Structure 1
Amino acid sequence: MLMDDMGWGDLGINGDPARETPNLDAMAREGMLFTDFYTANPLCSPSRASLLTGRLPIRNGFYTDNIHARNSYTPQEIVGGISDWEILLPELLAENGYRNKIVGKWHLGHQKQYLPLRHGFHEFFGSTNCHFGPYDNKSRPNIAFFRDDHMIGRYFENIKIDKNQQISDLSQSYIKEAINFITTQSDPFFLYWTPDSLHAPTFRSVPYIGSSSRSSSYGDALRELDAGIGKILDTIKQNQTLANNTFVFFTSDNGAALVSTTDAGSNGPLLCGKQTTFEGGVREPAIGWWPSRIPHSTVSRQSATIMDLFRTIFSITDIPMPIDREYDSYDLSPVLFANKRIDTNIYYYRGNQLMAVRNGDYKSHFWTFTNPLEQFKTGINFCPANFIKSITTHALTNYTQSPKLFHMIRDPGERYPIPENSIEYKSVIHKYINLYNKHISNTIPGKPLLNWCDKAVMHWSPPGCEALNMCLPVPQSKPYRCDWPH
Structure 2
Amino acid sequence: MGWGDLGVFGEPNKETPNLDQMAADGMLFPDFYSANPLCSPSRAALLSGRLPIRNGFYSDNAHARNAYTPQDIVGGIPDEEILLPELLKKAGYINKIVGKWHLGHRAQYHPLKHGFDEWFGAPNCHFGPYDDKTTPNIPVYRNAEMAGRYYEDFKIEKNGESNLTQMYLQEALTFLQSQHSKDQPFFLYWAVDATHDPLYASKPFLGTSRRGLYGDVVRELDYTIGKILSTLISMGVANNTLVFFSSDNGAATYSKEAGGSNGPFLCGKETTFEGGMREPSIAWWPGHIKPRQVSHQVGSLMDLYTTLAELAGVDIPTDRQIDGISLVNTLLTNTEKERPLFYYRGNQLMAVRIGPYKAHLWTWTNSIEEFNKGVNFCPGEEIPGVTTHNQTDHSSQPLLFNINKDPGEKYPIRSTTAEYKQVIQNIMPVIKEHLSNLKPGKPQLNFCDPAVMNWAPPGCDKNGNRCLKAPPSNLKKCVWDH
Q: TM-score range by the shorter chain?
A: over 0.9
- Displacement of 1:429 in angstroms is 0.9
Q: Contact 2:359/2:400 (CA < 8 Å) preserved in 1?
A: yes
Structure 2 Cα separation of the partners of residues 326 and 82 of structure 1: 16
Q: For each residue in 1:14-44, what CA deviation from the matched residue of structure 2 results, as whole angstroms up to 9, or x when unmatched?
A: 1111111110000000100000000000000
Structure 2 Cα separation of the partners of residues 436 and 368 of structure 1: 16
Structure 1 Cα separation of the partners of residues 128 and 366 of structure 2: 25
Structure 1 Cα separation of the partners of residues 146 and 266 of structure 2: 40
Match of 1:473 in 2: 469
- Displacement of 1:239 in angstroms is 2.4
- Displacement of 1:95 in angstroms is 2.3
- Partner of 1:364, secondary structure, is strand
Counterpart AA for 2:234: Q
- Partner of 1:260, secondary structure, is helix
Structure 2 Cα separation of the partners of residues 262 and 50 of structure 1: 29
**Residue of structure 2 aligned with 1:373, choices 356, 368, 375:** 368
Match of 2:317 in 1: 322
State the TM-score, normalizing by the size of structure 2.
0.98
Counterpart AA for 2:193: D
**Residue of structure 2 aligned with 1:464, choices 444, 447, 459:** 459
Match of 1:168 in 2: 162
What residue ranges of structure 1 are gaps of 5+ in the alignment?
1-5
Counterpart AA for 1:177: E
State the TM-score, normalizing by the size of structure 1.
0.98
Counterpart AA for 1:382: F
Match of 1:74 in 2: 69
- Displacement of 1:138 in angstroms is 0.7
Match of 2:200 in 1: 203
- Partner of 2:462, secondary structure, is helix
- Partner of 1:104, secondary structure, is strand
Q: For each residue in 1:382-410, what CA deviation from the matched residue of structure 2 results, as whole angstroms up to 9, or x when unmatched?
A: 00001111000001100011101111211
**Residue of structure 1 aligned with 2:226, choices 226, 230, 234:** 230
Q: For each residue in 1:282-336, what CA deviation from the matched residue of structure 2 results, as whole angstroms up to 9, or x when unmatched?
A: 0000001101101110001111100011001111111111211111010111111
Structure 2 Cα separation of the partners of residues 409 and 474 of structure 1: 52
**Aligned 1:127-206 pairs, distance under 5 A:** 127-162=122-157, 164-185=158-179, 186=182, 187-206=184-203
Match of 2:214 in 1: 218
Counterpart AA for 2:226: G
What residue ranges of structure 2 are gaps of 5+ in the alignment?
none
- Displacement of 1:446 in angstroms is 0.4
**Aligned 1:265-414 pairs, distance under 5 A:** 265-414=260-409
- Displacement of 1:115 in angstroms is 0.6
Q: For each residue in 1:179-236, what CA deviation from the matched residue of structure 2 results, as whole angstroms up to 9, or x when unmatched?
A: 111011021000000100100110111110111111x211100000100000000000
Is residue 7 from structure 1 mapped to residue 2 from structure 2 by the alignment? yes
- Displacement of 1:66 in angstroms is 0.3
Count of aligned pairs: 478
Q: Contact 2:91/2:312 (CA < 8 Å) preserved in 1?
A: no
Structure 1 Cα separation of the partners of residues 449 and 164 of structure 2: 29
Structure 2 Cα separation of the partners of residues 238 and 7 of structure 1: 30
List 4+ stretches of structure 1 deviating above 6 A: none
Structure 1 Cα separation of the partners of residues 293 and 87 of structure 2: 30
Is residue 89 from structure 1 mapped to residue 84 from structure 2 by the alignment? yes
Q: Contact 2:91/2:313 (CA < 8 Å) preserved in 1?
A: no
- Displacement of 1:433 in angstroms is 1.4
Q: Percent identity, aligned pairs only?
A: 57
Counterpart AA for 1:183: Q
**Aligned 1:18-167 pairs, distance under 5 A:** 18-162=13-157, 164-167=158-161
**Aligned 1:244-259 pairs, distance under 5 A:** 244-259=239-254
- Partner of 1:406, secondary structure, is strand
- Partner of 2:341, secondary structure, is strand
Is residue 416 from structure 1 mapped to residue 434 from structure 2 by the alignment? no
Q: For each residue in 1:322-356, what CA deviation from the matched residue of structure 2 results, as whole angstroms up to 9, or x when unmatched?
A: 21111101011111110001011100000000000
Structure 2 Cα separation of the partners of residues 62 and 270 of structure 1: 26
- Partner of 1:77, secondary structure, is coil
Structure 2 Cα separation of the partners of residues 194 and 232 of structure 1: 13
Structure 1 Cα separation of the partners of residues 289 and 53 of structure 2: 33
Structure 2 Cα separation of the partners of residues 92 and 318 of structure 1: 10
